[in-house]
Amino acid sequence: MQSFRTEIENPLVEKDILELERKINEFKNGKVDEEKFRSLRLARGVYGQRQQGVQMIRIKLPYGKVTSQQLRRICAVSDEYSTGRLHITTRQDIQIHYVDLERTPQLWAELEKDKVTLREACGNTVRNITASETAGIDPNEPFDVSPYADALFRYFLRNPIGQEMGRKFKVSFSATDADTGLSYMHDLGFIAKLENCERGFKVMLGGGLGSQPRHADVLYDFLPTDKIIPVMEAVIRVFDRYGERKSRAKARMKFLLKDLGLDGFTELLEKERTAVPHHSVPIPIADYPEIVVAEPKELPAHTISDKTAFETWRATNVVPQKQTGFVAIGIKVLLGDFHTDKARLLADLVQHFAAGEIRLSLRQNILIPYVREEWLPFFYTELEKLGFAEAGYNKALDITACPGTDTCNLGIASSTGIAAELERVIKEEYPNYIQNPDVVIKISGCMNACGQHNMAHIGFQGMSVRTKDKLVAPALQVLLGGGNLGNGQGVFADKVVKVPSKRGPAALRLILDDFDAHGNGLSYTDYYREKGQMYFYDFLKPLTDVDNLTPEDFIDWGNSEKYEKEIGVGECAGVVIDLIATLLLESQEKLENAQGQYAQGKWAAAIYHAYSAMVNAAKALLTTEDVKVNTHASIISDFDEKFVANERIPMTEGFENRVLQLNRNEPTRSFAQTYLQDAHAFVASVDQFRQKELAKV
């Protein structure tokens, strides 16, 4: 591998790129440990993908803003180093795939010619700072959050306090109380506020998705704009010092908040303020680039062939803009995938007839701001030529999906394949939902929730299911009732049933048919809350039967070969999926559910959650012994044999006697209290045993 000239003016950037080249050489020659090399390349946007020998490159685009020139540069790089396909992520990045590792320094150098970076797009760093795609044009915004998102991006890029944290750190900005930046599910979320004519933000702390979603706490109801950088720096310092590092499954900010509590965290935050170099950092909003709208002398000739289609598109894809005479156009991008030939033409269109920029959205779409309202017919005809005029922007038809098993190491089942099929079902069978903005559908290929399935009204998570004959088929966990309530409030979806993947469309039909019949004008979140989890479980349960699977059920969506569950090292999530650790984490979650039910006076529910927690924890240890864990009964008896009888885990009364007390006592408050105490003690003893065993390795 020969060195190359970067032709980069910024010496810091040039040093970065040359260091990546040097580390690749050292790694290839066996001089750098694989784990250390992985950490370095991830922090530079280079991510190993499911296919051996090639990389996914994540291009970091702060708050989703891309100029026409930057888009052309990305297209050139994708054509030269990748396949010409661009993928918009749920964090407003663009990813390209199938890149040769040794060519990544040259690729990066090419991008930097138009100030596009890979730095800290992956890894245990401050990830891409996201924002409402309507920032700067939203009629309801108190002010434009773009300059503030831009300032944070620049301040923390390459900042030493955020380079090798225990885990990634995600930040968002919301333009209005609608909270389209989804502050409640971020490590730090900022919602624009005005207080006595002063600009500031409501600040949310410690949210997250994944297998254990957590709603963020309110850190400040109002924080002046000059304090957001000092506060974020203090937060990152605390996280870097006190956050988990060994057990990476517990290393996110949300777990630290859970352990310390908000009061405990704020105490550490106050102690950290002395070390923060600046107590006030005013944001120079006057330096933020001004919008320049193109003024062509005349528009090219154009004719709308289907006026009905145009009016439908206009009703669903045109976004109001606070600037008089202008609107924004939403482009629905199926699965977030588009190609360089169309992207170049789009770059030309917005340069010559709009403001020379686009915004990528959290729902994997594109927004074109600063379109003159009277030019909508022209834009429609031009976008139609590019295949970018499909109706349904940010509506129910607009399904979000991560790459899943297409390229991701952690993918368990196809998310893109089922997403395409569900969109087909909606178009053909539920056309009224093409204009419905109140039902949000999201899909992830695994529990890490890159598709944000657990904050959707209707969510699907890729899983697998095993038959009695030990055959494995792709499956989907169906989640319902999540949603963004605004102003930092949100609801996470409940897990309702798990169905074979090929029954996903049938599940969607049942859900939409039920909502159409009984919704009575309620939002889906309110309707779900009114009916309750068991209501939906009852009518979806028939789809869970795996005794009658057909050969087609063993072929995942978008595939032609029989499904095989393959899980590798998930670099974006930073962990190998550890079944034992996952089961123990789920036991803790069940205990939390038990405590919640107990606090509400629901003794029977609390007891059963506690029972499930104990059985789940026992299952975790039995899995380490390669013991079959097919039924609760076998788990209970086998645990006594493998762990209690030989006193590996001391229990004087035996596990079976303890856990089956729920069948021998009425669900009274006093029994529930005692049973919960026993459950906590048991799960703790299992966790301690597991930690001791790991320490021996």
Each residue of 14-24: pLDDT tens digit? 988 998 998 89
The burial of 683, by beta-carbon neighbours within 10 Å (0-12 exposed, 13-18 middle, 19 or more buried), is given as: buried
137 and 279 in a single domain? The answer is: yes
Per-residue model confidence as pLDDT tens digits over 381-399 = 999 999 999 999 999 988 9
Q: Residue 1: what pLDDT?
A: 47
Tokens representing 580 are 């034992």
pLDDT of residue 381: 97
Residue 324 or 597, more confident: 324
CA 382, chain centre distance (Å): 32
Within a domain: 401: no
How much of the chain, in percent, has pLDDT values that exceed 70? 95
Question: Hunting for tokens 């600009």 — which residue is that?
Answer: 199
Whole-angstrom distance between the N-terminal and C-terminal Cα of the chain?
Answer: 38
Q: Work out how many domains the chain is built from and give that number.
A: 5
CATH number at residue 488: 3.30.413.10
Note whether 562 and 527 are same-domain residues. yes
pLDDT for the residue numbered 3: 59
**3 state SS of 318:** strand
Query: Which domain does 478 fall in, by range?
Result: 408-569
CATH number, domain containing residue 334:
3.30.70.3340
Q: What is the pTM of this model?
A: 0.79
Same domain, 436 and 516: yes
pLDDT at 579: 61
- Regarding whether 240 and 160 lie in a shared domain, the answer is yes
Give which of 288, 362, 357 is closest to 65, Cα–Cα: 357
- Checking if the pLDDT of 566 tops 60, the result is no
- Give residue-wise pLDDT tens across range 194-209: 999 999 999 999 999 9
Contact 315, 432 (CB under 8 A): no
- Any domain includes 73: yes
- What sign does the dihedral 452-410-91-182 (CA atoms) show? positive
Residue 391 lies in a domain: no
Q: Does 559 or 494 have the greater pLDDT score?
A: 494
Question: Does 325 lie in the same domain as 230?
Answer: no
Question: What sign does the CA torsion over 16, 19, 21, 24 have?
Answer: negative
Strand pairing report for 472-480 and 400-401: unpaired
Extract the tokens encoding 469. Answer: 């004959």
Which tens digits make up the pLDDT trace of 415-458? 889 999 999 999 999 999 998 988 999 999 888 888 899 999 99
Q: Which residue do the tokens 């050139």 mark? A: 76
Spatial contact of 478 and 496, defined as CB atoms under 8 Å apart = yes
- Determine, yes or no, domain membership for 298: no
CB 563 within 8 A of CB 556: yes
Q: Please report whether residue 399 resides in a domain.
A: no
User: Where is the domain boundary, 549, 569, 589?
Assistant: 569
Q: Which amino acid is at 79?
A: D
56-74: per-residue pLDDT in tens?
Answer: 999 999 999 999 999 999 9
Alpha-carbon distance values, 74 to 77, 250, 334, 383 (Å): 5, 35, 19, 20
- How does residue 370 score in pLDDT terms, banded at 50, 70 and 90? very high
Q: How far apart are CA 241 and CA 511, in angstroms?
A: 46
| 625 belongs to a structural domain | yes
Question: What is the spatial distance between Cα 578 and Cα 585, in angstroms, rounded to a whole number?
Answer: 11
190 and 68 in a single domain? The answer is: no
Paired tokens of 695:
């320490």
pLDDT in tens, 620-645: 898 888 787 767 777 888 999 999 99
Q: Read off the pLDDT of residues 116-163 as tens digits, 9 standing for 90 and up.
A: 999 999 988 999 999 999 999 999 999 999 999 999 999 999 887 888
Does one domain contain both 85 and 151?
A: no
**What's the chain's average pLDDT?**
90
Token look-up 């109380």 returns: 177
User: Residues of 140-150 as b/e, b for ≥16 C-beta within 10 angstroms?
Assistant: ebbbbbbbbbb
Strand order in the sheet with 198-205: 130-131, 171-174, 188-195, 198-205, 217-224
482 found inside a domain: yes
Cβ proximity of 509 and 425 under 8 Å:
yes
Single out the residue of 49, 45, 52 nearest to residue 77, CA to CA.
Answer: 45
Same domain as 555, residue 462: yes
- Shared-domain flag, residues 505 and 364: no
* CATH code (residue 654): 1.20.120.330
Domain boundary among 256, 286, 316: 286
Task: Residue count of the chain, please give it.
Answer: 697
Which of 61, 83, 112 is the C-terminal boundary of a domain? 112
d(C-alpha 397, C-alpha 200), whole Å: 35
Q: Is the pLDDT of residue 582 over 70?
A: no
- pLDDT of amino acid 575: 35
Work out the average pLDDT over 654-660. Answer: 89
- H or E element, residue 695: helix 669-696
Q: Per-residue pLDDT tens for 454-506?
A: 999 999 999 988 888 877 888 999 999 999 999 999 999 999 999 999 999 99
Phi, psi dihedrals of residue 463, rounded to the nearest 5°: -145, -170
Q: What is the CATH number of the domain that holds 75?
A: 3.90.480.20
Residue 585 — very low, low, confident or very high, per pLDDT cuts 50/70/90?
A: confident
Q: What phi and psi, each to the nearest 5 degrees, are found at residue 298? A: -155, 160
- Model confidence at 609, in pLDDT bands (50, 70, 90)? confident
Q: Which long-range contacts (CB under 8 A, 24 or more apart) does 672-678 make?
A: 672/598, 672/603, 672/604, 672/606, 672/607, 673/598, 675/606, 675/607, 675/610, 675/611, 676/591, 676/594, 676/595, 676/598, 676/606, 676/607, 676/610, 678/610, 678/614
The tens digit of pLDDT for each residue in 97-117 reads: 999 999 999 999 999 999 999
Residues 425 and 533 placed together within one structural domain of the fold: yes
Closest by CA position to 501, among listed 540, 453, 557: 557
Q: Is residue 481 part of a domain?
A: yes
Q: Are 312 and 268 contained in the same domain?
A: no
**Confidence class of residue 569 from pLDDT cuts 50, 70 and 90?**
very low
Looking at the structure, tell me whether residues 152 and 281 fall in a common domain.
Answer: yes
CB-CB neighbours of 31 under 10 Å: 10
